[in-house]
Structure 1
Amino acid sequence: MDFSWFRVALPLCVAVLSVAVAVAVQDHALPAALLSAVAVCGAAGMVLTWRDVRSKAKGDNRTFSGGSLVGKRQRHKLEADTLNVKQVQEQTLLQRLRKNADTWYGKEYEFSSVQDSDVFRARHPITSYNHYQELIRRIAAGEEKVIIAEKPSILAMTSGTSGPSAMLLSTKDTNKEFFLQGVAVCLDAMQRAFPETDSLQRTTKFFYTPTFRQSESGIPIGPNSFTPASSRYMLNLYTTPAPAFDVPSEKDALYLHLLFALKDPSVGALESNFASTVFYAFIALQDRWQELVHDIEEGKVSSALALEPKVRASLEALIKPDPKRAAQLRAHFQQGFRGIARRLWPHLNLVLAVDSGSNQIYGEMLRENYCQEVPFYSPFYAATEGLIGVNLWPQEPSRRYLLCPRSMFCEFLPENSPEEESPHTLLMEEVKEGHNYELVITNTSGLYRYRIGDIVKVVGFHNQCPIVEFLYRRGQMLNVRGEKVSEALFLGALKKAVAQWPGAQLVDYSCAESGIMGDSIGGSDPHYQVFIELKGVRNLTEEQRYKLDICLQQDSAVYKSFRIKGSIGPVRVQLVAAGAFRELYKQMMEFSNTSPNTFKMQRVLRRKEYATFYWEKQFPESFCWRSVCSSHCGEHGLT
């Protein structure tokens, strides 16, 4: 599940009283900064200068009485749409077909004569990325009106979690939809659930400026991303100053995010696209807190950072020696890191980041360790392809998303549908609660009946509109004999096993099917190689490692049947050294078209070199898997 849409820019003008106040809203990650900026515009009868904003950002607890008129209006529109989903979906589809009817693609599929969704589905095939690859290449080269009527604002690169990174189109309409149907609605939901976020405390935003290139026709190529520093209206609401957002090194930029966050005891929110980014920010804080505290005490920026002289001078001009704050911080760190977030920032109201899907474990680790007692809000279900759903229930522990009927025209393939050229799809009003489906979407930027690769579960309805939980990506499923073990199922079994390993805390994990590793691991039945980074232990007994296989059998009857028949061998657990996952992450990023803001760790490795990397990062303690097979397979009736 790719949430790169958290960073698309969108200008928004909102009228305050009878005066038109143009506010450039250019980062819809929608952290507290954007939320507060919109709240400023919508506050009835209140015109605030940015001097007022700065004073409030420094810790004044006054709030805006008006809230977000934009958010309330968009929430009302969404509620109305959920009462007549079939009609709204039909309108959404036909509007897009009419707009692009005069393109090469629209003429090819006779969009102008499509009268309803039934005709569209009969005429247009279900597609995958290969269907569009050459057409997007033509657009990148400068050809116009190929798939869409307008010129794309960016050629957006997907994160490549479950396969190679793909180049898709992004348009102004897509950005507008995301803000109005996603950001504004989530603003309303967040302020209802967490009223304290309506105050203008500063936000620490963990964001890394991506690198862009251009196509031969001059269209930017890269992740959907916009630097917060590009909007002068928003900078006063972030703890990080403008020069730091332009530091190219992720490591150095993170240090600066932490440095300026630690200086401000009144931070109100921590925000990033994904919980993984926040988690690894705390890992870095744990490693470098002494250096950071020293900089605050001395009023300087560490000489270890490779900064341009002009950037360093700009940053150091913003820092004054603060021995008192340094002493407070040192005392907090010396107490340990469990619950450290609330000790560092007593007024911390929220962590705003996606913590579902592959980010679930990072959210759990943050709540259990660094960010105890701090609420989390996972606002969107989105992808490079566009906004899919919004979370209207911020305080519920399960991450559920209401599908947005005006953002995507959605079709649904039952999870285990047979592979066929023209499978029958269901529409929003036809799906059933408790069933799993693969999403097929038609968006506003040139994808028609496109298999996005996400499997979701319908967990309920809001009026007529489905509410879904994201389950897994099709490419991130373990499958050596047709057993199809999903990411969610495997993670559940892994968590049960870790709970049976005294003192162990899960940091990260990835799996590989034995086939991709070849002869390097010796001959055996097909099996899963599981690479795990733990805190608290350096080794596990054979009995402890085998717990994972037992837990997986308990959770998957299909996997258990293959194990009993002996056609799948036992799971092999390999413990890797501390920092191995971050090290591979850095290597992946060096050869990736994505950005640190959109990166998601691959749970199922499809490249041999990645599995080999972890294999070579194992702890030196030897481990004999043959003894496991002999001692446990006989005990449990396995071969």
Structure 2
Amino acid sequence: MLPRFDPTNPIAAISLLQDVTTNVKQIQDSVLEAILSRNAQTEYLRGLLNGQVDKQSFKKNLPIVTYEDYRSYIDRIANGEPFDLICDRPISLLLATTGTSGGVPKLIPLTTEELEQRLLFGSLYAPLIYKHVEGLDEGKSLMFYFVTRESETASGLIVRFMISCVLKSVNATNSFLWDRVQISPHAISICEDTNQGMYCQLLCGLLQRENVTRLGAPYASSFLKVIKFLEDHWHELCSNIRTGRLSDWITDAQCASGIGKFLTAPNPDLASLIEKECSKTSWEAIVTRLWPKAKCIEAVITGSMAQYIPLLEFYGGGLPLVSSWYGSSECFIGINLNPLSKPSDVSYTIIPSMGYFEFIEVVKDRQEVGHDPAESPVVVDLVDVKVGHDYELLVTTFSGLYRYRLGDILRVTGFHNNAPQFHFVGRQKVVLSIDLNKTYEEDLLKAVTNASLLLESHDLMLMDFTSRVDFSSLPGHYVLYWELGSKFKNAKLEPGSKVLEECCFTVEESLDSVYRKGRKNDKVIGPLEIKMVRPGAFDELMNFSLSRGSSVSQYKTPRSVTSEEALKILEANVVSKFLSRKTPSWEPRELHSSR
């Protein structure tokens, strides 16, 4: 585990970072030894290890599992059975993941000790951005966070999202750390009404616009939702600033109290300035226009979030995009040691103290290397991964997960000291499939990105997308749902049928040879279809997920949709449809090598 250090001392944090990335093998071995010796008498490990807690017995006897393999143990704990089913320490709460395309979250066990480790992890990477981004310490951060109302299991165990855990860990003894770096008072960030919280965080940021040096949100998508909210509410925000009076619909006591420290008197000059910028024909560079001293935008921009990079660049006016760290509800994993790297070059350095990490090597078609499909895959340790190779990550944690498939594909890009650095490739998940063809998230994202370039000459932007397979007619075909936005107000949102038909064809040309061969003569796979949806359709899709317990801070648009309710929302918003009019060439070619 991470040794304790003073989170207010950047030198101590950077020194510790150098230490843990140097002694990787020793730390990984000691982490595994600690996890196994602590938990040897749990029901799960006792039945598999029979008291043998050495590394060899662990690798030989413990199966590689998914959540479905593990669900029964977590369900038993949720229903009131003892925590020592899987862990020697009390499970303090269950973390809800962001859910699947069906909107149903997984529940991940978390101990108090593990939460403390994750907070230390945050303090470990915090000094890096100040070290690399000049002038950041001359102001504060306008980071947008939102909590989701927590729930309880049948036995009374609390269920929270990870962002909510972090926000609610701020208390009287450590709140000075928050106040030192954040523009918005902590009380506003923990408001459970997302609209009131978002409105008041924006209002705080606008009232203190000259003191904002960093903006961001947990994910690129959540930051863009803030921009959309600003677009819909700037008239009202300006009215509040002009009159010095908060809107009556802000009824949350903590929000009203928090904003009251800054909205103390009418400020017509500031209101007019903001009004002037927001009423311009284009919102290009709106972030730097409203917050002139901003140095960067911080949000996760890797994996499925890479789709939103063009939008962040448009609204951000050239500000650096910083993707600080990589983690999940199951485990916090890696840090971006070069915050100013280009979005396409972002790599995360694994912090070996956070858990025990193993890797299944995969090749381009996501097949596991070196084993018969009927046998267990060959697994390598953290120190044995090879540069240029792709791996699926397994985690073993102090909170009771053992050899758990995280479902993420990582590509090794190099080493910092002795710690491997990884580029996040995407999820080990087939998002679309017809016949023998399997399209993975990474490949779909690349294909859509290539096609969306055709929109640039029409001053249009792809705001969001998802997909499904339509088997209602034979052969089945891929359907993409696209929501477009314009770089200019009141512009036409459809560039014409020929452009969108060419977009369909470009997506198909960008997919692999198995797909393209299946498209030959339309025998196996039918022409790809793009369905344009009206503006706001993906907000409706998000609201559907939120109604089923998801979190605004952690919500990610599913790249494929199977839920009937979600499909009804999308179909109800379709305004036009386009089909690929040409058949892609099907000869094998290596356009999307994973190496």
Q: Same fold (TM over 0.5)?
A: yes
Following the alignment from structure 1 to structure 2, what is the Cα–Cα distance between the partners of residues 246 and 76? Answer: 34
Following the alignment from structure 1 to structure 2, what is the Cα–Cα distance between the partners of residues 317 and 394? Answer: 33
* Counterpart mapping for 1:277-288 below 5 A: 277-288=222-233
Match of 2:112 among 143, 158, 172: 172
Whichever residue aligns with residue 253 of structure 1, its letter is G
| Stretches (4+) displaced over 6 A | 10-13, 635-638
Give SS of 1:604's match: coil
Aligned-residue offset at 1:342: 1.4
Q: Tell me whether 1:211 sits opposite 2:149 in the alignment.
A: yes
Give SS of 2:200's match: helix
Match of 2:543 among 580, 586, 590: 586
Q: Structure 1 123/11 Cα, relative in aligned 2: closer, same or farther at 3 Å?
A: closer
* Conservation of the 8 A alpha-carbon contact between 2:250 and 2:256: no
Q: Structure 1 13/425 Cα, relative in aligned 2: closer, same or farther at 3 Å?
A: closer
Following the alignment from structure 1 to structure 2, what is the Cα–Cα distance between the partners of residues 420 and 295? Answer: 65
Q: Structure 1 470/340 Cα, relative in aligned 2: closer, same or farther at 3 Å?
A: same
1:198 aligns with 137
Q: Structure 1 318/142 Cα, relative in aligned 2: closer, same or farther at 3 Å?
A: farther
Q: Structure 1 316/389 Cα, relative in aligned 2: closer, same or farther at 3 Å?
A: closer
Could you list the runs of 5+ residues in structure 2 that have no partner in the other structure? 487-492, 588-595
2:82 aligns with 143
* Conservation of the 8 A alpha-carbon contact between 2:204 and 2:262: no
Following the alignment from structure 1 to structure 2, what is the Cα–Cα distance between the partners of residues 466 and 11? Answer: 20
1:327 aligns with 272
Structural RMSD (CA): 2.6
Q: Tell me whether 1:131 sits opposite 2:69 in the alignment.
A: yes
Match of 1:533 among 452, 460, 483: 483
* Conservation of the 8 A alpha-carbon contact between 1:299 and 1:322: yes
Q: Tell me whether 1:72 sits opposite 2:18 in the alignment.
A: no
Aligned-residue offset at 1:404: 2.0
2:416 aligns with 462
Deviates more, 1:285-294 or 1:534-543: 534-543
Q: Structure 1 171/195 Cα, relative in aligned 2: closer, same or farther at 3 Å?
A: farther
Aligned-residue offset at 1:218: 3.4
Match of 1:220 among 145, 158, 164: 158
* Conservation of the 8 A alpha-carbon contact between 1:98 and 1:111: no
Aligned-residue offset at 1:172: 2.6
Q: Structure 1 462/245 Cα, relative in aligned 2: closer, same or farther at 3 Å?
A: closer
Q: Structure 1 93/223 Cα, relative in aligned 2: closer, same or farther at 3 Å?
A: same
Aligned-residue offset at 1:356: 1.0
Following the alignment from structure 2 to structure 1, what is the Cα–Cα distance between the partners of residues 156 and 435? Answer: 47
* Conservation of the 8 A alpha-carbon contact between 2:141 and 2:214: yes
2:452 aligns with 498
* Counterpart mapping for 1:544-555 below 5 A: 544-555=500-511
Q: Tell me whether 1:259 sits opposite 2:203 in the alignment.
A: yes
Give SS of 1:632's match: coil
Following the alignment from structure 2 to structure 1, what is the Cα–Cα distance between the partners of residues 484 and 438? Answer: 26
Following the alignment from structure 2 to structure 1, what is the Cα–Cα distance between the partners of residues 15 and 578? Answer: 63
Aligned-residue offset at 1:378: 0.8
Give SS of 2:354's match: coil
Could you list the runs of 5+ residues in structure 1 that have no partner in the other structure? 1-9, 15-37, 43-67
Per-residue CA deviation, residues 286-315 of structure 1 (Å, 9 max, x unaligned), is: 222121111101011123x25147864664
Following the alignment from structure 1 to structure 2, what is the Cα–Cα distance between the partners of residues 605 and 278? Answer: 23
* Counterpart mapping for 1:552-631 below 5 A: 552-564=508-520, 566-592=523-549, 594-619=550-575, 621=576, 623=577, 625=579, 631=581
Following the alignment from structure 1 to structure 2, what is the Cα–Cα distance between the partners of residues 477 and 530? Answer: 12
* Conservation of the 8 A alpha-carbon contact between 1:490 and 1:552: no
Between the two proteins, what is the percent identity of the paired residues?
25
Q: Structure 1 309/395 Cα, relative in aligned 2: closer, same or farther at 3 Å?
A: closer
Following the alignment from structure 2 to structure 1, what is the Cα–Cα distance between the partners of residues 11 and 154? Answer: 42
* Conservation of the 8 A alpha-carbon contact between 1:382 and 1:388: yes
Q: Tell me whether 1:248 sits opposite 2:204 in the alignment.
A: no
Following the alignment from structure 2 to structure 1, what is the Cα–Cα distance between the partners of residues 308 and 232? Answer: 18
Whichever residue aligns with residue 264 of structure 1, its letter is Q
Following the alignment from structure 2 to structure 1, what is the Cα–Cα distance between the partners of residues 339 and 578? Answer: 47
Per-residue CA deviation, residues 174-202 of structure 1 (Å, 9 max, x unaligned), is: 2233344x323322332331142234x22
Following the alignment from structure 2 to structure 1, what is the Cα–Cα distance between the partners of residues 187 and 34? Answer: 43
Give SS of 2:434's match: coil
* Counterpart mapping for 1:341-490 below 5 A: 341-367=287-313, 369-397=314-342, 398-415=345-362, 416-417=367-368, 419-475=373-429, 477-490=431-444
Aligned-residue offset at 1:247: 3.5
Q: Structure 1 597/382 Cα, relative in aligned 2: closer, same or farther at 3 Å?
A: same
Following the alignment from structure 1 to structure 2, what is the Cα–Cα distance between the partners of residues 112 and 98? Answer: 9
TM-score (norm 1): 0.81
1:183 aligns with 122
Whichever residue aligns with residue 78 of structure 1, its letter is V
